[in-house]
């Protein structure tokens, strides 16, 4: 029996990665169709009732005609798509969370939705350390000066140099797959690591206030939930020692960005590094574009060749389990009740 699959890749998790992984992992006769989405050349956004998706509902509906399985990163599984594609039974999202899928509508239609947890843990951990060092050692600013032909000796002045990681205390807010890897790397630097995470059982973990008070460096790794919105605001930043460094490579909703800008402008924080933002792309006129001692990258902490390959492999594994009638490992919506 031929299994019809749509590989709806993009310019990061490419269709060739999906196809290679599917051919390697999935038994049987596969009819794999391809649709290339425009991300990241064109930013994702809200499509219908789902977030962080490519605006390709029409193309997706056409490509999913008579298709049972879709593997993708950015395709929008909206109620409109679901209603137009009655043959679809499995929708595999190759990212850490299926925010581009309407889980309620999928469950009602009997469509299983899966995701790919941990695909970018290594890349994000490494990027976090790069951002921490870049902010602490003023690497982007000094590079920009040199590129303009300016050799500035004043960066060597005592009040302008940053602290060392060795012997310093680093606080990790969140201790999931990424936070644990960051901790392991930091221990190699000789840093003391403090952890706040109410959802893990870890000996020696501390309260958020204690972590902020004791840490010269703070890195955010918590999940985005209604409870974690602006969990780091003006009051929390004020607890950090003067001259501290704050890094956010997790989610924009965790941090009050106006409070961060205030702390950088006042000199309370030595520096900060951000890969995620409250609005992406950053709008013109944002304070973030003019605040001093701030290092920024455009939400690419998880971007590595290995991340893309792992993403394709994880979803191909789910397709293989589906074909073999095995339980799915990373299902995001409930199994429909037996009738």
Mean pLDDT for the stretch of residues 215-220: 98
**pLDDT level of residue 339 (50, 70, 90 thresholds):** very low
User: Around 266, how many Cα atoms within 13 Å sit in the side-chain half-sphere?
Assistant: 13
Which residue reads 């403090």 in tokens? 194
Instruction: Give the tens place of pLDDT for each residue, 154-199.
Output: 999 999 999 999 999 999 999 999 999 999 999 999 999 999 999 9
Q: Which of 173, 168, 93 is nearest to 128 (CA)?
A: 173
Cα 258 from Cα 223, distance rounded (Å): 21
Instruction: Give the tens place of pLDDT for each residue, 293-318.
Output: 999 999 999 999 999 999 999 999 99
Task: Examine the pLDDT at 253 and tell me if it is beyond 60.
Answer: yes
Cα dist. 15→2, 8, 331 in Å?
Answer: 20, 7, 22
Cα dist. 112→52, 144, 187, 190, 259 in Å?
Answer: 19, 49, 40, 45, 41
For residue 144, the SS3 value is: helix
Q: Which contacts qualify for 77-81: CB closer than 8 Å, 24 or more apart? A: 77/50, 77/101, 77/102, 77/105, 77/106, 77/111, 77/113, 78/47, 78/48, 78/49, 78/50, 78/102, 78/105, 79/48, 79/49, 79/105, 80/48, 81/57
Q: Which of 23, 241, 249 is nearest to 130 (CA)?
A: 249
Cα 259 from Cα 322, distance rounded (Å): 47
Mean pLDDT for the stretch of residues 266-284: 96
**Least-confidence region, from 107-111, 201-205, 267-271:** 201-205
Instruction: Give the tens place of pLDDT for each residue, 34-63.
Output: 999 999 999 999 999 999 999 999 999 999
pLDDT for position 337 = 55
**pLDDT level of residue 1 (50, 70, 90 thresholds):** confident
Across the chain, mean pLDDT equals 96
Q: Which residues are catalytic?
A: 251, 280, 299
Strand partners, 136: none
Q: Which percentage of the chain shows pLDDT scores above 70?
A: 99
Instruction: Give the tens place of pLDDT for each residue, 119-148.
Output: 999 999 999 999 999 999 999 999 999 999
Task: Examine the pLDDT at 338 and tell me if it is beyond 50.
Answer: no
List, in order, residues 6 or more apart from 32 with CB less than 8 Å away. Answer: 5, 6, 7, 18, 19, 22
Query: At what angle are helices 305-323 and 121-136 packed, to 10 degrees?
Result: 160
- The bridge status of strand 45-47 relative to strand 50-53 is antiparallel
Which domains are delineated in the chain?
A: 2-119+304-323 (3.40.50.720), 121-296 (3.40.50.720)
Cα dist. 177→94, 119, 200, 250 in Å?
Answer: 17, 10, 11, 12
DSSP-assigned letters across all residues of 121-138: HHHHHHHHHHHHHHHHTT
């Amino acid at each position: 029996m031929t299994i019809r699959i749509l590989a709806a890749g993009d310019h990061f998790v490419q269709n060739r990665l999906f196809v290679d992984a599917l051919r390697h992992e999935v038994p049987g006769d596969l009819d794999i169709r391809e649709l290339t989405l425009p991300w990241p050349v064109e930013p994702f956004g809200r499509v219908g009732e789902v977030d962080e998706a490519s605006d390709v509902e029409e193309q997706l509906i056409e490509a999913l005609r008579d298709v049972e399985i879709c593997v993708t990163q950015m395709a929008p599984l909206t109620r409109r798509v679901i209603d137009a594609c009655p043959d679809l039974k499995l929708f595999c999202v190759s990212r850490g969370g299926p925010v581009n899928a309407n889980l309620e509508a999928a469950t009602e239609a009997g469509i299983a939705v899966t995701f790919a947890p941990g695909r970018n843990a290594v890349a994000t951990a490494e990027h976090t350390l790069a951002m921490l060092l870049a902010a602490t050692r003023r690497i982007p600013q000094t590079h920009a000066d040199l590129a303009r032909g300016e050799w500035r000796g004043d960066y060597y002045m005592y009040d302008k140099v940053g602290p060392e990681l060795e012997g310093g205390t680093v606080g990790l807010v969140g201790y999931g797959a990424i936070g644990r890897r960051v901790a392991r790397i930091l221990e190699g630097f000789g840093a003391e690591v403090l952890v706040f995470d109410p959802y893990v059982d870890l000996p020696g973990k501390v309260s958020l206030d204690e972590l902020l008070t004791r840490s010269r460096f703070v890195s955010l790794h918590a999940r985005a939930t209604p409870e974690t919105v602006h969990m780091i605001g003006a009051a929390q930043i004020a607890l950090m020692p003067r001259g501290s460094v704050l890094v956010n490579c997790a989610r924009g909703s965790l941090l009050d960005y106006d409070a961060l800008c205030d702390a950088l402008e006042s000199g309370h924080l030595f520096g900060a590094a951000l890969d995620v933002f409250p609005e992406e792309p950053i709008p013109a006129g944002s304070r973030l574009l003019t605040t001093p001692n701030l290092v920024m990258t455009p939400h690419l902490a998880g971007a590595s060749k290995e991340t893309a390959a792992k993403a394709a492999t994880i979803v191909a594994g789910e397709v293989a389990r589906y074909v073999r009638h095995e339980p799915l490992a990373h299902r995001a919506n409930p199994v429909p009740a037996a009738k």
